[in-house]
Structure 1
Amino acid sequence: MRKLLLSLFMLFAAVSSAQKLAVESFRLAGSDLTAQTQPRKDLNDRNCALIKVGLGLQGVQFEGGIMGNVENKTGEYWVYMPQGNRQLKVKHTNYAPVMVTFDDYGVEKLESNRTYELIVVTYPQYAITQNVTNQYLDSQQSTPQTHLTVSDNTISIPVKDGISIDMVCVEAGTFKMGATPEMKKPWNEEKPAHQVTLTNDFYIGKYEVTQALWQVVMGKNPSYFKGNNLPVEKVSWDDCQEFISKLNRITGKKFRLPTEAEWEYAARGGKKSCGYQYSGSNDISDVAWCLGNSGSNTHDFGNTHAVGTKQANELGIYDMSGNVYEWCQDWFGTYSSSSQVNPTGANSGSGRVRRGGSWFGLAGWCRSSSRILSPPDRCGFDIGLRLVLSE
């Protein structure tokens, strides 16, 4: 027993010393005017961009084209940089540093007078040491132990190589599915609206599956638009089944694609729904990368963007409208007006359901009720996936 506890302690110490800094999110804070109201000039007498770095550590250092001293505020650092900058390095003596490349998060370069938010976390002490401790506890008692990092209504499940899956809890409930009144100009496939009851809580991905996650599981990246924090695309429904099977072997969990009803319920905001047409807003530009706003200097016709760079919906879930279509588990079938409990779609068919619209789609395809069918072997540079966890 003493030797085992000593081994655990030594492993704990080794893991702790290997901690590193990691980026949780980086985005333009569109409604934050601090860069304008509390400006700092660059060498050309232009207002700088301001990056507010959320990181609960003292003694953090930054490297890059920084103007003046970094301001240490309560719970965050204010870093002023001239427009055009593309990277910022974050350092601390007790952690491996992280280089933040803005383009990985959908920001090609900083703009003058704009405020940005960067969230940096320390990783992965809790996830690894908790797994080690739990492996010991599991051998000593019959009560199952969780290996999850839990915060509020979210969980974070480590996969490997520093990659985790963040998931949001969706409480069971009853809703109207399909062409409800707030859905403007619905198509026939969305009719009739009908009552659906989901009797079980479930966890759904906070973000679309990224290329980093796909790569660490599959060992390859099929995507057309490359970037670790971009959603994976060019994956068929069949590809997704292979990915999920390998992911489950790695994690010991039971991931799957969402049913169409689960997907729409989560997109509408579950029990917190405000009745929006899109997932989180009636203004599509708030929540979705779609045809009309997804263009860039590199791809004039548009492209995917880093997950989580638009506004979240009522449950804190990102990109359920736009960016990439998301495969559902169901065969595509016509709706009935009858009430349903835990529906799983048609028994068979020629196509599987995909939902949510994409960077390449018109606004109508991004409605929370919009649905389309595709053969399960179809893949395109606007089709990806989001995971659900079965307990």
Structure 2
Amino acid sequence: MTQCLNPNCLKSNPPETIFCQSCGKKLILVEDLGNGIELEMVYIPGGTFFMGSPDNEEEKKENETPQHEVTLPPFYMSKYPITQEQYQVMMDKNPSIFRGKNRPVENVSWYDAIEFCQNLSTKTGKIYSLPSESQWEYASRAGTTTSSSELVNDDGNYPDAYVPKKEFRKETTDVGSFLPNTFGLYDMQGNVWEWCQDIWHDNYDGAPTDGSAWETQGDISTRVLRGGSWYYISLYCRYAKRSYDYVDFHSNVMGFRVVSFVSRS
């Protein structure tokens, strides 16, 4: 079902309405995963943005260049990183090191994340996948052109030009513990690195400009990670920061979130 961010407007909207007809606010797609556990998917409007680091960004890495324009259609993205209770109900296991039903699932490989998406697609009859790298950065930036956000769970002992010194919690936190971005997404920086669909490439030369995942060329055994984590300093939580690992690698700094298409029917 879908529901307005304002519950008072719920009854005024027919099923699958993208924007509330009363207040104009975004809708959230809610999937029932079973056992009373739900998955909230936030509507992300389509648009155009500049992906990667501009020439004047401090700590810019060559793999974040060249900055290029990407135009994406609308999509849904999970409001939070997939939690341990969501993973448990879909996969019948919980590999996480830092236990807590509302903490992000971690210690999952790219293959594990793909299997979750396949199970979710089978259960719902919809197509769920990992986000493309451009979907991830577009949703993370949410219209901003700054470098990063202060409101993240990271190693706060090392301030930089953008973020002051803050607490280092030394573990994951419950999803939603910090304020959301403008799109209504939580924990896009810090907490856990998030797997993307894309194969790793050393730079953006030849990257898609339509929001799709880059799954040609490169080494198919390595996939992109985004967002930084509780263990990494603030510079690793910049919007443009990129990393990667092997598809079968597990770590307590790695999790994921999912996306789905917007129905046009």
**TM-score of the two chains, using structure 1 as the length reference:** 0.56
Counterpart of 1:162 (choices 14, 27, 36) is: 36
Counterpart of 1:239 in structure 2 is 112
Counterpart Cα distance in 1 of 2:233 and 2:251: 16
| Offset of residue 178 of structure 1 | 0.3
- CA apart distance, 1:379: 1.1
Say whether 1:344 aligns with 2:213: yes
More strand per residue? 1
- The answer to whether residue 228 in structure 2 is matched with residue 228 in structure 1 is no
Q: 1:175 aligns with which of 38, 49, 56?
A: 49
| Structure with greater helix percent | 1
Residue 224 of structure 1 deviates from its aligned partner by: 0.3
- 1:261 maps to which residue? 134
Q: After the TM superposition, which parts of structure 1 deviate over 3 Å for at least 4 consecutive aligned residues?
A: 293-296
Tell me if the contact between 1:195 and 1:338 (Cα under 8 Å) persists in the aligned partners. no
The one-letter code sitting in structure 2 at the alignment partner of 1:219 is D
| Cα separation, 2, equivalents of 1:227 and 1:201 | 32
- Deviation, structure 1 residue 152: 3.2
Distance 1:352 1:338, change over 3 A: closer
Deviations along 1:344-382, one digit per CA (max 9) or x if unpaired, are 224141410000000001111101110011111111000
Alpha-carbon shift at residue 337 of structure 1 (Å): 7.7
What is the identity, as a one-letter code, of the residue corresponding to 1:191?
T
**1:191 and 2:65 aligned:** yes
> What amino acid sits opposite 2:83 in the alignment?
T
CA spacing shift, 1:385–1:182, aligned 2, 3 Å: farther
1:29-178 aligned within 5 A: 152-178=26-52
Correspondent of 1:335 among 176, 192, 204: 204
Of 275, 286, 296, which residue of structure 1 is paired with 2:145?
A: 275
User: Partners of 2:107 and 2:208 in 1: how far apart?
Assistant: 35
Structure 2 CA distance for partners of 1:203 and 1:222, relative to 1, 3 Å: same
Higher RCO, 1 vs 2 (CA within 8 Å, ≥6 residues apart): 2
Taking structure 2 as the reference length, the TM-score comes to 0.81
- Structure (1 or 2) with the larger CA radius of gyration: 1
Q: Which runs of 5+ in 1 are unaligned?
A: 1-54, 57-125, 127-144, 297-301
Determine the C-alpha separation between the residues in 1 that align with 2:256 and 2:167. Answer: 19
User: Offset of 1:229 from its aligned partner?
Assistant: 0.3
Q: Residue by residue, what CA displacement relative to the aligned partner does 1:39-74 show, whole Å, maximum 9, x if unpaired?
A: xxxxxxxxxxxxxxxx99xxxxxxxxxxxxxxxxxx
Aligned: 1:374 with 2:245: yes
> Which residue identity is paired with 1:226?
R
Rounded Cα–Cα distance in structure 1 between residues aligned with 2:244 and 2:190: 17
Aligned residues: 234
CA distance in structure 1 between the aligned counterparts of 2:191 and 2:103, rounded to whole angstroms: 9
Q: Which residue in 1 is equivalent to 2:180?
A: 312
What CA distance in whole angstroms lies between the structure 1 residues aligned with 2:227 and 2:249?
A: 16
Say if 1:294 and 1:359, in contact at 8 Å, map to a contact too.
no
Deviation digits for residues 218-255 of structure 1 (CA, Å, limit 9, x no counterpart): 11100000000000000000011111111222222211
Match of 1:355 in 2: 226
- What does residue 261 of structure 2 align with? 390
Q: Structure 2: 5+ residue runs without aligned partners? A: 1-6, 157-165
Measured after TM superposition, the shift of residue 155 of structure 1 is: 2.0
One-letter identity of the residue aligned with 1:389: S
Identity rate of aligned residues, in percent?
A: 37
Q: Deviations over 1:144-172 (max 9, x none)?
A: x76x9x87332222111111111111111
